[in-house]
């Protein structure tokens, strides 16, 4: 496997020569625009499709991107990953999150353990545990059923599972799938745990401690916070807590927990929603069958990412277009704009996934790179954003590429018809209108009312946000980020940038500090 | 009043010559760092302070910024605004949101009405109405007390009030100030209204329709959605709804509402939290006295913004440093990072406030400007962000200026001590550590573990997040954005960039479309 910097590739030179070539306003305007929309469209898993007609590409740019795929051997690198090579070179680890939901290549055996079987077994254990909680076989000290599950975790142990839970909570409530309501405690700010505890009935709540290492400061602290609160209510914490961790962690075999479920070092935190980190809380909330549908949607998308024909590989396409925008056009930010209130926290998950994976300045050999890498990711649901930051997206001095997500139907199905259209139709009309407004703009003699257009966007469209569609979305972005890391020659699976802050925080807490750090600490009352 | 483009100013030329001058790693390292921290510190209202020691400024840069203040007559422009000039030139409107919380200059009389008296009267009406709801004098059809208030609004009618409510909800709950729980419906996505309605007891809920014009598509649609739901439960909507709107709007004198409270055209949506848009929902939630404390905190900060000594004017300082970072250093994004879970939605409010105000490419005369204007704003609470996107902030290829917010004490006061420190101390230690890690970095032979530093930040520090501190924060950022608009010579009070999308969405809904717009609509099932 040859790992090469982007700026050593001939195809990159070719792409740079194509900078600014495609005028999307021109391409999408007029009667021919429809043909372009129907052409630059690729099926995804679970009935989704990826539309990139409003991106700055044409057949020539796509051909150059296809050259890049071959020159950087992107599909070979993907195969190396799923066949069990140590793609996380810095930490000398395998990268196996896809194995939690399907098997794309060889059996992966580590220390005599078939990893696919291990992950499947842990998922199954979560489902069986959840079923016993739902039936009341596992109950609180008084034999009463649990009504709530509360995840204690931070970063990847929080953002992904929380985004997925919120995405399906109302769908589940409306369709009889909501078994337990889920809550989340993440921040070391004591007001986070206090507020969550004020809002739930601890006697009927099952808490999940989630930390792969079993040493995460925030999670251990919040665990103690919760145990303290349980004891004050006269409850036995060990009857109210389970753990999701690695087999070697201090949480793994503690009698402080009812049970423990396992992942390992080959599942990165931000990629861990398919492991027990997602399986436990989501199986408890929705049941194991719904969770399996998420996994199946993700597995189907992972398969598509193997497609050698670029125009039939939505994850690779999205990745390539993103690199083109970042490293050729020079755009520094991508906005993720789901036209679905259920996806309100999905951008926060993508923010971690993308920025923590590819927000790096050195390649996988530890050498500085001389091109821009991962963009800033932010976003809020539409139509809310239209009444907020879209002003800057339309008329600001920088161009921000956009990633829309939309569905033909609502999740719950309640709606009203006003002026001959439903709310869902209004929602969909708005996202269609925005794509065109951003791309084509509108000339006006009054410069204040003028829209230059030329602002590129893609959209992922689905029939409805189901568990399978959600799984496909999750995997799509994981694969996109992975391919982009390959293209930029980064290790997308470590996060050395989080270490220095941790070290300095410990210094402050130990009182071992001086100079500016001491002055700031004093201002903050420490 | 002379309005000038930034790039015509001598002081701007001087600032450009100072680009890259200040090395914050050097300034903050070693024993002298403490003196810098204590020097570049300015008191704010309500016991807050603004610390800018980790920003790329020194006395020479500050002197050039002070020249800019004079050359662009920033305090004169502020005075013009609060004395009632038509500073919103595009729409030929006054800009009077500060008058809702205090009077900084002349009486402002429009059409014979003293505007300060008008706003005070409306705030008082909200407080009196709220007191009657709390006492049960105003009750539901069965004479039962309301337990919940639900705001129906979008953009400025949602983000500001929602952020303020969330900021004080747990403080209020812990301190006996939570009179009614508040919910919010904003998105035209029917799943938003459905989900909120599933989570509340409609028979005991008072709904507030919030739309200045009374014509906002999303809000009217959601109002109908709610009325429909109330009728289905056998309830009389007119006994469950009030309106916050302008006196000339269709909502103003409708017998569909129990009562109506008024703002006017001189209160921009994103600046409307101090008007009835915030007053009604927050007085109902927390009582009129708590709401008045928010206003008083804001008024005190507005007063500070008049200070002619730059180093005693935190709002102006923050604005100038932001312009220096954006237009001299060329940084495109600012991250807002509150170390307070209660401020979880405050960045979303600031995102609208800043990006909708200054995300523009033409000056107030409608002429294109040739410098970069408002930045992208995004953020999440710390320490959560540390386990997410901070990787990119520390080691990514772009520099992102940071705006921290922190408090010495938690709001609720529950805490646990683990390894000799409370959670609150851990929280504060982390933000102090992050400031230093971003500024000074750390050399490492392994480039993957190397931190370049040089990443600037400011921090606003308070004793506790009280209503007054929250009001001061709100006003600080409003004033910052206002001053930045003056510096860039923008009209920060219109939003023409949101119009085109609305027009195109109507086309889709009327079926009057073809080409790409029709193709996208078809994909979306319309």
Cα pseudo-dihedral B478, B482, B483, B484, rounded to 10: 100
The neighbouring-strand residues paired with B152 are B185, B209
Which SS3 state, helix, strand or coil, does residue A496 take? helix
Which residues of B fall within a CB distance of 8 Å from A376? 333, 376, 378, 389, 392, 398, 400
Token readout for A500 is 């220095």
Task: Give chain B's domains with CATH numbers.
Answer: 49-82+305-494 (3.40.50.10490), 97-294 (3.40.50.10490), 495-526 (no CATH)
Which residues of A fall within a CB distance of 8 Å from B442? 500
The answer on pLDDT for A117 being more than 90 is yes
Inter-residue contact A211 to A245 (CB < 8 Å)? yes
CB proximity list for A59: less than 8 A, separation 6 or greater:
none
Rounded to the nearest 5°, which phi and psi values hold at A346? Answer: -65, -40
Q: Which residue has the tokens 């009203």?
A: A416
Residue of chain A with shortest Cα separation from B227:
A416
Q: Which residue has the tokens 């925030």?
A: A218
- In chain B, % helix, strand, coil (3-state, to 5) comes to 50, 15, 35
Which residues of A fall within a CB distance of 8 Å from B503? 433
Token readout for B287 is 């009582």
A355:B170 CB<8 A: no
pLDDT (0 to 100) of residue A167 = 98
B341:A195 CB<8 A: yes
The answer on pLDDT for A254 being more than 90 is no
Token readout for B310 is 């730059």
Give which of B279, B271, B273, B210 is closest to B245, Cα–Cα.
B210
Mean pLDDT, chain A, whole residue set: 97
Distances (CA, A) of A377 to A346, A402, B326: 11, 10, 19
CA atoms of A452 and A443, how far apart (whole Å): 7
Which secondary structure element, helix H or strand E, spans residue B184, and what is its range? strand B181-185
Q: What is the pTM of this model?
A: 0.98
Mean pLDDT (whole number) for A370-387? 97
CA atoms of B523 and A74, how far apart (whole Å): 30
- Any alpha helices (H) in A404-466, and if so which ranges? 423-440
pLDDT (0 to 100) of residue B131 = 98
Q: Please count the residues of chain B.
A: 526
CA atoms of B350 and B332, how far apart (whole Å): 16
pLDDT in tens, B265-321: 999 999 999 999 999 999 999 999 999 999 999 999 999 999 999 999 999 999 999
Distances (CA, A) of B247 to B113, B211, B250, B277: 13, 11, 9, 14
A190 class by beta-carbon count within 10 Å (0-12 exposed, 13-18 middle, 19+ buried): buried
Candidates B23, B35, B190: best to mutate against A (most CBs of A within 10 A) is B190
CA atoms of B353 and B358, how far apart (whole Å): 9
Give the orientation angle of helix A74-82 with respect to helix A59-71, to 10 degrees. 50
Q: Are strands B49-51 and B457-462 parallel, antiparallel or unpaired?
A: antiparallel
- In this complex, the residue of B416, B446, B496 whose CB is nearest that of residue A448 is B496
Q: Which residue has the tokens 């009070």?
A: B493
Q: How would you classify residue A297: left for phi > 0, otherwise alpha for psi between -120 and 50, otherwise beta?
A: alpha
- Any alpha helices (H) in B327-400, and if so which ranges? 346-358, 390-395
Give which of A466, A473, A478, A467 is closest to A98, Cα–Cα.
A478
In a 13 Å sphere around the CA of B386, the CA atoms on its Cβ side amount to 30
Q: Which of A142, A232, A370, A502 is an active site residue?
A: A502
What is the number of other CB atoms lying within 10 angstroms of the CB of residue A464? Answer: 16
Can you say how many angstroms the Cα of residue B279 is from the centroid of all Cα atoms in its chain? 15
Q: Which residue has the tokens 């008191």?
A: B43
A27 is known as an active-site residue: no
Residue of chain B with shortest Cα separation from A192:
B341
Token readout for B403 is 């705006």
Cα pseudo-dihedral A266, A271, A276, A277, rounded to 10: 120
Distances (CA, A) of B33 to B22, B42, B327, B455: 14, 17, 27, 16
Give which of A410, A442, A444, A405 is closest to A424, Cα–Cα.
A410
B367:A406 CB<8 A: no
Which secondary structure element, helix H or strand E, spans residue A205, and what is its range? strand A205-210
Mean pLDDT (whole number) for A266-286? 98
A352:B500 CB<8 A: no
A449:B499 CB<8 A: yes
What is the number of other CB atoms lying within 10 angstroms of the CB of residue B229? Answer: 19
C-alpha distance across the termini of chain B, in Å: 51
Inter-residue contact B339 to B404 (CB < 8 Å)? yes
Rounded to the nearest 5°, which phi and psi values hold at B211? Answer: -160, 120
B496:A449 CB<8 A: yes
CA atoms of A97 and A116, how far apart (whole Å): 10
How distant is the Cα of A306 from the closest Cα of chain B, in angstroms? 25
The neighbouring-strand residues paired with B376 are B333
How distant is the Cα of B432 from the closest Cα of chain A, in angstroms? 6
Sign of the C-alpha dihedral computed for residues A236, A241, A247 and A249 taken in this order: negative
Give the orientation angle of helix B159-174 with respect to helix B276-286, to 10 degrees. 20
In this prediction, the answer to ipTM > 0.85 reads yes
- Cβ-Cβ pairs closer than 8 A, A with B, add up to 517
pLDDT (0 to 100) of residue B253 = 83
Q: Please count the residues of chain A.
A: 526
A387 is known as an active-site residue: yes
Quote the Cα angle for A485-A489-A492, to 5°: 35
pLDDT in tens, A190-231: 999 999 999 999 999 999 999 999 999 999 999 999 999 999
What is the number of other CB atoms lying within 10 angstroms of the CB of residue A178? Answer: 18
Candidates A520, A522, A523, A525: best to mutate against B (most CBs of B within 10 A) is A520
The answer on pLDDT for A48 being more than 90 is yes
Which SS3 state, helix, strand or coil, does residue A56 take? coil
Quickly list DSSP for A348-408: HHHHHHHHHHH--SB-TTSPBPSS--S-EEE---TTGGGGTTHHHHHHSSS---EEEEEES
CA atoms of B86 and B445, how far apart (whole Å): 59
- In this complex, the residue of B366, B378, B509 whose CB is nearest that of residue A378 is B378
CA atoms of B220 and B471, how far apart (whole Å): 29
- In this complex, the residue of B412, B446, B518 whose CB is nearest that of residue A34 is B518
How distant is the Cα of B487 from the closest Cα of chain A, in angstroms? 16
Candidates A40, A358, A501: best to mutate against B (most CBs of B within 10 A) is A501
Q: Model confidence at A90, in pLDDT bands (50, 70, 90)?
A: confident
Quote the Cα angle for B321-B325-B331, to 5°: 155
Residue of chain B with shortest Cα separation from A392:
B359
CB proximity list for A191: less than 8 A, separation 6 or greater:
B170, B340, B341, B342, B410, B411, B412
Q: Are strands A333-339 and A402-407 parallel, antiparallel or unpaired?
A: parallel
In a 13 Å sphere around the CA of A19, the CA atoms on its Cβ side amount to 12
Inter-residue contact B28 to B441 (CB < 8 Å)? no
CA atoms of A359 and A376, how far apart (whole Å): 8
CA atoms of A517 and B439, how far apart (whole Å): 11
pLDDT tens-digit profile, chain B (526 residues):
899 999 999 999 999 999 999 999 999 998 999 999 999 999 999 999 999 999 999 999 999 999 999 999 999 999 999 999 999 988 999 999 999 999 999 999 999 999 999 999 999 999 999 999 999 999 999 999 999 999 999 999 999 999 999 999 999 999 999 999 999 999 999 999 999 999 999 999 999 999 999 999 999 999 999 999 999 999 999 999 999 999 999 999 888 999 999 999 999 999 999 999 999 999 999 999 999 999 999 999 999 999 999 999 999 999 999 999 999 999 999 999 999 999 999 999 999 999 999 999 999 999 999 999 999 999 999 999 999 999 999 999 999 999 999 999 999 999 999 999 999 999 999 999 999 999 999 999 999 999 999 999 999 999 999 999 999 999 999 999 999 999 999 999 999 999 999 999 999 999 999 999 999 999 999 9
pLDDT in tens, B166-213: 999 999 999 999 999 999 999 999 999 999 999 999 999 999 999 999
């Amino acid at each position: 496997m040859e790992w090469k910097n982007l700026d050593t590739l001939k195809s990159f030179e070719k792409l740079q020569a194509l900078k600014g070539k495609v005028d999307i306003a021109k391409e999408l305007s007029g009667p021919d625009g429809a043909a372009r929309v129907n052409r630059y469209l690729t099926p995804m898993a679970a009935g989704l499709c990826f539309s990139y007609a409003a991106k700055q590409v044409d057949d020539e740019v796509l051909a150059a991107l296809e050259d890049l795929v071959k020159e950087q051997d992107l599909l070979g690198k993907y195969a190396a990953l799923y066949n069990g090579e140590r793609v996380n070179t810095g930490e000398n680890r395998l990268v196996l999150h896809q194995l939690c939901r399907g098997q794309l290549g060889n059996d992966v055996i580590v220390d005599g353990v078939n990893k696919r079987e291990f992950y499947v077994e842990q998922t199954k254990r979560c489902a069986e545990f959840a079923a016993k909680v739902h039936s009341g076989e596992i109950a609180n000290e008084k034999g009463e059923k649990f009504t709530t599950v509360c995840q204690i975790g931070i970063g990847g142990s929080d953002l992904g599972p929380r985004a997925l839970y919120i995405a399906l909570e109302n769908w589940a409530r409306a369709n009889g799938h909501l078994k337990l309501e889920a809550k989340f405690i993440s921040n070391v700010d004591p007001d986070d745990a206090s507020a969550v505890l004020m809002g739930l009935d601890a006697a009927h709540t099952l808490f999940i401690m989630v930390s792969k290492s079993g040493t995460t400061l925030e999670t251990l602290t919040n665990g103690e916070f919760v145990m303290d609160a349980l004891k004050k209510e006269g409850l036995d914490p060990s009857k109210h807590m389970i753990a999701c961790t690695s087999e070697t962690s201090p949480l793994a075999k503690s009698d402080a927990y009812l049970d423990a479920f396992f992942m390992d070092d080959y599942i990165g935190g931000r990629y861990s929603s398919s492991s027990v980190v997602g399986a436990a809380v989501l199986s408890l909330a929705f049941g194991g069958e719904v969770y399996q549908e998420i996994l199946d949607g993700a597995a189907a998308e992972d398969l598509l990412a193997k497609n050698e024909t670029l125009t039939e590989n939505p994850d690779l396409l999205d990745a390539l277009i993103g690199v083109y925008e970042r490293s050729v056009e020079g755009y520094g930010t991508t906005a993720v704009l789901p036209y679905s209130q259920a996806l309100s926290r999905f951008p926060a998950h993508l923010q971690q996934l993308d920025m923590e994976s590819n927000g790096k300045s050195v390649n996988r050999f530890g050498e500085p790179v001389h091109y821009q890498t991962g963009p800033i990711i932010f976003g809020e649901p539409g139509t809310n954003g239209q009444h907020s930051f879209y002003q800057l997206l339309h008329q600001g001095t920088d161009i921000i590429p956009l990633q829309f997500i939309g569905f033909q139907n609502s999740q719950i199905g309640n709606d009203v018809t006003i002026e001959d259209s439903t709310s869902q139709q209004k929602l969909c009309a708005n996202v269609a209108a925005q794509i065109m407004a951003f791309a084509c703009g509108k000339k006006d003699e009054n410069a204040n009312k003028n829209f230059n257009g030329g602002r590129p966007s893609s959209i992922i469209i689905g029939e409805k946000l189901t568990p399978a569609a959600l799984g496909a979305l999750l995997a799509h972005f994981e694969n996109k980020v992975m391919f982009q890391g390959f293209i930029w020659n980064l290790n997308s699976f470590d996060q050395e940038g989080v270490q220095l802050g941790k070290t300095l925080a410990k210094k402050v807490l130990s009182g071992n500090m001086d100079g500016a750090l001491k002055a700031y600490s004093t201002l903050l009352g420490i």
